[in-house]
Structure 1
Amino acid sequence: MELHCKYQVALVCVMMLLPAALCYSQGFTPSRAAYYATSDGYGTPSGACGYGYYGRSVNNGKVAAVAGLWRNGAGCGACYQVRCKNSRLCSEYGTMVVATDYGAGDRTDFIMSPHAFKDLGQNPSASAELKKYGVVDIEYRRVPCTYAGYNVRIKIHESSNYPNYLAIIILYVPGTNDVTAVEIYDNERHEWKPMRRAYGAVFDIVDAPRGPLTMRLQFSGRKDWVQSSKSAIPGDWKVGASYDSEVHV
């Protein structure tokens, strides 16, 4: 009888602890993370998403290269909460990173910039110890991106050649929205023309329509198009310039 009571007590303890453990990891996926080296802790401007300087500095340089989450470039710009699992060293929240590059490691889902990896630790000494491991066990979940003061912006990629070849990068996409398709309106033919995903977050079109260009975007999880409320790209667009699309998602 005494033994039976002990089992009952143990069972109650397990039942009390289990919900807390489930709550801790609710919505998270277990994985591993590493980091890459840069001279100043920020990201790299040469990432596979094609973001350039934006890919280095967005989110205060807390960015990451991803592999399984790449989704043929549709994963560019997605935001993730990442936290490591060593209770002695790791902070409770971890960090939030933006996917700006492609990178595959030793069973890792994230290869993080130094600024991002540093945030995994509870304090500077803990961060330094985590860095010595090189690769750490983590869990992650997708979270909404927030860019206060920004609408979706369109940047003219450096490979563009006015006026015929137009390549663009879509920046500051909020929420948990993947850009899945882009079209621009041909004012002469009165029709929408699709842009091709060249690579990463770069969309392009050969023989681009003339004049100010209205755009519409399609996002994951919805069938309708979201159209710019004005001509998002001026008729005399410039390579390297960025324009407010006035697209609200």
Structure 2
Amino acid sequence: MGFVQNQSCALFLVLVLLPVSIILGCEERFQSTKAVYYITSDGLGTPNGACGYGEYGRTINDGCVAATSAFYNGGAGCGACYKVRCKKTECNPEGVLVVVTDHGGAGDADFIMSAKAFNKMAQPGFEKELMTYGKVDIEYRRVPCQYPGKTLTLKVTENSNYNSYLSLQFLYQAGSAEITAVEVFEEETQKWRPCRRAYGAVWDMPSPPKGPLTVRFFLDGSSEHVKPRWVLVPTVIPAFWQPGATYDTEIQLDEY
């Protein structure tokens, strides 16, 4: 009777533990590199980052952002999230989550972090000691971005000009996939017109179709659990769009 109970317990443990191992197996492993930081007046990011995010790039993720050249990927890496933790005794083992908003390198350091993000790697009370190092050894891995209460937002950038030039970017890009292509549907020809990646996370098109505009974008990524696919956003941009306006796609990318 005791033998039967032991078998049952063993079977129960396997059933309980198996999903956990599967989940852990889906996570990317930590890799090693170095990190430095840059200083702004408030410790947050810069609105002039190469991704073209402007003020959004300064404050997104509470200002815990980073520049990178290794993972910039021609702009496709803009908006990606990384878990970063340092290895000094002053470091918090939980580390910090940073969002890529800029391009830049610093020798053997793959991450140039905002001062606020760099500080958050420290144990409480050891921020000054960590900042004194200037450069630290870190571990990092790509993680899905999460924006509770937000869905993917499409912005018509400020330098757009109605009927002659359309410039777009995606904000609150959850999940771990990258947007590698954007197209706008032209009703007159019944064809999809490709946008050009102007720079960073900015896509543009001269002489855009008349609105309302339907947009689709292609999701891709290096992770094996990212399924490459097109995502359709019907009539997301109204007929009389305005430069600087944002439009909610009602899409939560971490569900794709």
Q: Number of residue pairs matched?
A: 223
> What residue in structure 2 maps to residue 191 of structure 1?
191
**Cα-to-partner distance string for 1:103-150 (whole Å, 9 max, x where unaligned):** 1102111101111001010113x2111111111100100011001111
Q: Which amino acid aligns with 1:31?
A: T
- The whole-number CA distance in structure 2 between the counterparts of 1:156 and 1:187 is 20
- The whole-number CA distance in structure 2 between the counterparts of 1:183 and 1:223 is 16
Q: What's the TM-score, normalizing by structure 1?
A: 0.86
> What residue in structure 1 maps to residue 80 of structure 2?
78
- The whole-number CA distance in structure 2 between the counterparts of 1:248 and 1:81 is 21
8 Å Cα contact 1:232/1:246 also seen in 2: no
Q: What's the TM-score, normalizing by structure 2?
A: 0.84
The one of 46, 49, 52 aligned to 1:47? 49
> What residue in structure 1 maps to residue 238 of structure 2?
234
> What residue in structure 1 maps to residue 107 of structure 2?
106
8 Å Cα contact 2:44/2:64 also seen in 1: yes
- RMSD across aligned positions (CA): 1.5
> What residue in structure 2 maps to residue 3 of structure 1?
none
> What residue in structure 2 maps to residue 206 of structure 1?
206
8 Å Cα contact 2:211/2:240 also seen in 1: yes
Question: Where does 1:28-43 land on structure 2 (aligned, <5 Å)?
Answer: 28-43=30-45
- The whole-number CA distance in structure 2 between the counterparts of 1:69 and 1:165 is 29
- The whole-number CA distance in structure 2 between the counterparts of 1:53 and 1:31 is 28
Q: Which amino acid aligns with 1:99?
A: V
Q: Which amino acid aligns with 2:143?
A: V
- The whole-number CA distance in structure 2 between the counterparts of 1:65 and 1:127 is 20
Q: Quick check: 1:115 aligned with 2:116?
A: yes
Q: Which amino acid aligns with 2:164?
A: N
> What residue in structure 1 maps to residue 148 of structure 2?
148
> What residue in structure 1 maps to residue 249 of structure 2?
245
Secondary structure at 1:109's aligned position in 2?
strand
Q: Which 4+ residue blocks in structure 1 deviate beyond 4 angstroms?
A: none
